[in-house]
Every structure is written in C-alpha cells, then in structure tokens.
Amino acid sequence: MNEHDSHLKELALEAQRHPQNSRERRKALTRLLRAIEQSRQLSRPRRDQFQGLYEEIYADAVQRLYAHICDRIDTYSAEKGEVLQWANFLLSKRFFIEASRELLPTVYKGMDARAVIHLTLEDLDRENPQDANPHSRPLLSQEVRTFIEDDPDQIFQTTHVADRPDASFQLIALRRLDGFSWQEISAALGIRVPTLSSFYQRTLTRLAPKLKEYLS
Amino acid sequence: MMKPIDDSGLTMPLSLKAHHLADQFRQQQSTQPKAKQVYLNTLAVCAVNEYLKNLGIETHLEAGDSWDTVVQSLADVADLTLPGRGKLECRPVLPDAEICSVPPEVWGDRLGYVAVQFDPALREATLLGYVPSVTAEELPLSELRSLDELIDLLSPAPPPEPVHLGQWLAGVVEAGWQALDEALRSPQPAFSFRSGSQIQLQPPNTADVVAHGKLLNLPSQTSGDQLALIVGLMPTATFELDVWVKVCPQGDRTHLPPDLELMVLDEQDTVVMQAQSRNTEMIQLRFGGQPGERFSIRVVLGAMSVTEAFVV
C-alpha cells in the first residue's frame, strides 16, 4: 500500500467517524474527493468506444461516482481494498454503464449531435446565438427590451431612485442592456454605484413577475 | 489539466446536462458577450449545486433568478437558492484569471459568494473558495476563504460538549457554572453571581452534595427578571449518583413565571421526566444516574427554550 492509498483510506475512515451531514463529515468528504481527483488515478473505462461522446459520458459517470461516494461512504470498508479500487470498480462496472445508457439514446434519437455536444470557451467567444437563428424569431431578451422601452403601463419610467426622477428603472435597464458599465451609468447620473445597483436589484425583483406575465 | 490554485479547491466534472441547460438559456440572448455570460453563470450554478447536493445540503435550482430567463436578460446573476437559508452567488472565473468579478447587482441579499473556475474546454469546474460578502466588483482570488469555511456556514453547529457531572465530584467544573457548595456551608444561605443576583438553594441536608448553578438565558426575559438552573448531585451507596435539577427565580422575582416547563430528556432526546410551574417558587426533578449515562435538561418558557446536555 503506498502513501497515497493510505491517505485516501484515512480520509474515508475520517468521514465515516462523523454523523451524516455533520461539518466534519462534509469536510472529510471534500478532502476525499479532492484527493481522488488529484491522484489522477481514476480509471477511464472503454476508451475506444463511444467516439465523440466519450468525454460527456465519462463526466457524467464521475459525477455519479462522486455523489455515491458522498452519500454511501459508510459502505466502504478497508477490508474490501483501497479507496481507489473501490471507486474504480464502481466507476467502470456501474456508473460508466449507467451514464452511457442515459446519454446515448439522446443522440440516437436523431438529435443533432452538435446540439448535444457541449460548447467550449472558444465557441462562446465566437458564437452569437442570433447568427444561429435562421428564422429570426424574436429572442426573449429582445422582447424584454421592447417591453421596457414601450412601457405600456408606464411603470418602468415612473419607478426611480429616491428624489431622482431622471434615474428611472427604464433608463438604467436600457443602459445596462446597451452594455454600459455601472461606473459609466453612475458617472453620467452622479449617483453612487451601490445606490444604483441596490435600487436596480430591488426593483427587478419586484417587477420581474409583471414582465414574465406580459411575455408569457 | 487545470490545477486548483491551492489545496482548498475542488475540481468536479461538468455534465452534459449542465451544458444543455446553459445552452438553452444562452439561446435567449441576442449578443455574444451576454450569451457567454449566461452560459458560464449557468455552469457555475450547476457546479456548486452538484457539490452541495453531494454533501446533503438542500438546494432549489429552479427558484433562483439565475434560472429566470427574464432576470438573466436584465442582470448578471448566478444565484443558487438554499431553502430556508437564502442565496449563494456562484461566480464564474476564467481559466487564467486572478480575480473574480462580482457585479454590483448581486452585492446584496447573499449568504456568500463562491468562485468557480473553468478549464478552456469547459469540461471541469473548480470550486476555489468563498467569501461571505463583497464590496467591490473585482474580488482577488487570493482573498477567497476555504471550502471548509463554506461548510461551517452551511452546516448545523456541532452539539455543545456535555457537562461532565462525574468530574464535578472531583472539583472540575465547566466555565459558566457557579459553585454552590461553598455558599451552602457559609452562614448565609445565598450565593452571589458575578452579575450580583442571588441564588437561594436548599438541597438535601448533607455534606457530600455538590451543586452548581447558572443563569438561564431565555431571550423573552427582561433584565432583572432572571431564572437560575441548579444541578446538584450526591454519591449514593451504590455506584449511582443521586441527581436533582431545579429552576429558581432570581433577582426581584420571588416566583417562577407560570407555564414554565422543566424536562429531563434521555440520550435519544425523549422526554423522560417533566414538571410545570404554576406560579410556584421553584420546580425540581430528581433521579438516579449511572456513570457514563447521558441526559439533557430543557427549560421551556413560551416559544423560548434552553437545553443543556450532561453526562453523569
């Protein structure tokens, strides 16, 4: 048994010593998951299969494994072997299979694989959802904007920062939608950022149901 | 592979489900920066949600502003609702960033802020740590506190250490408990608390008695209107200890408030003895306890209660 294995075993037994949902068990479980992850010794079963979807299935399987380890740490016993043996057995014999059974049908149902495979940061920096909107149906965010601009019940222009009728919710929301920073809006109005933002937050919480009602 | 910046982070996989949700929300946005923001906010909330669920901490994803496409459009928000507690803000952090951005619209109304760092492929999320509050838009990652502190915030306080009655006989008494035995032997049958109030004590007439008292902190009481809890014990001929528990009025009060209840609970928190005041001068319960036996005493007045744990 190497040093790493004994560290993992120690953490697992430490978690077992404390009651479910106690601080000490939660801390020990966090350390255990971190140590398992940093060991880089979780197995990668069936690497030659599920081309194109392997990483997604694997991520789902590891997530299930982590949930199981946290929920069922009491079922680990040192006599059964090392923590990594226990985890890798569960990962390949149970959770990888469960994950593949759940994820594969979504692709086989004829869904566009592009729509299933996840985006990367690079994709997010490049793609504008509107470009992939061939029918130019109005997006929700555009409807929100239009409604705030039109303000049929005149609530957005009449709700304003105390004693500052010019600093209305309508003006602040539209500036934010146009991409102005809080500092820029603050400088233009001569109102401190925390005053503006807390007014905005409170008003948004209050008016959001009205917006939803209109847009639904 | 991304490494956490120190030992306190935790890296978890991002599932396809999280990406799928993030993409649905993103599709509602009409500009690239806003779409990216909504996507990353959703992933950050999902990662924290997964972690808390693993630890048995209840969450309600759908209740958050971050799950509301209207609010998403109008604010940079990544909140996660913890029923009965409040909201945790889950802020996304880019792979090589050294700061976490916390927009002013989420400065108020939060239990805390968790920083969640991604790898460029968005396959993993690392929960870096948390802060209880913020006062600026840029939070340096070096100021983050560990996940242990987040667990302390979200977990029940550990039960207080029980008072060890066996050690009272050896003269070892926990802080907060005032010795009464000396007072009993003094000519005046009274004992002064540091606060100046007095406990009147009349235990069984024996020299082997050890008794200690403390003022009860029942929040509904007004000052000068205090109650004292007194626990006394005495060795018996067997290995059992004779234990009695009393509640007495203090200060200007001469009688207990009506409907004050005194209970003894066993280790399973089941009430095994109970007494109720009817405007009496004091109430007392008496029982035998074996060494190592655990019990609690609970004093209830209206909606308020105080519980003290003991081991014989």
The arithmetic mean of pLDDT across residues B161-181, rounded, is 81
Question: Is A208 in Cβ contact with B71 (below 8 Å)?
Answer: yes
Please report which confidence band the pLDDT of residue B168 belongs to, taking 50, 70 and 90 as the band edges.
confident
Q: A23 CB near a chain B CB, below 8 Å?
A: yes
Contacts of B20 in chain A (CB under 8 A): 116, 118
A125, B20: Cβ pair inside 8 Å?
no
Residue B276 has pLDDT above 60, yes or no: yes
Q: Is the pLDDT of residue B3 over 50?
A: no
Q: How far apart are the C-alpha atoms of B199 and B303, rounded to whole Å?
A: 25
**How does the average pLDDT of chain B come out, rounded?**
84
- The complex's ipTM works out to 0.91
Tell me which chain A residues have a C-beta less than 8 angstroms from the C-beta of B158: 22-24
What's the one-letter identity of residue A45? P
Of B13, B26, B105, the CB nearest to A59: B13
A116: distance to nearest CA of chain B, Å?
7
pTM above 0.80, yes or no: no
Single-letter amino acid code for the residue at A109: K
Select the residue of A128, A205, A212 nearest B31 (Cβ to Cβ).
A128
Q: Is the pLDDT of residue B17 over 80?
A: yes
Phi and psi angles of residue B276, each rounded to the nearest 5 degrees, phi first: -125, 140
pLDDT at B221: 53
- Residues 6 or more apart in contact with residue B295 via CB below 8 angstroms: B264, B265, B266, B267, B272, B289, B309, B310, B312
**Which pLDDT tens digits describe chain A residue by residue (216 residues)?**
578 899 999 999 999 999 999 999 999 999 999 999 999 999 998 888 877 788 889 999 999 999 999 999 999 998 888 999 999 999 999 999 999 888 887 665 555 555 556 889 999 998 887 777 666 677 888 889 999 999 999 999 999 999 999 999 999 999 999 989 999 999 999 999 999 999 999 999 999 988 888 887
When scoring B28, B73, B114, B154 by the number of chain A Cβ atoms within 10 A, the one with the most, hence best to mutate, is B73
Q: Give ∠ CA A183-B88-B37 in degrees, rounded to 5.
A: 50
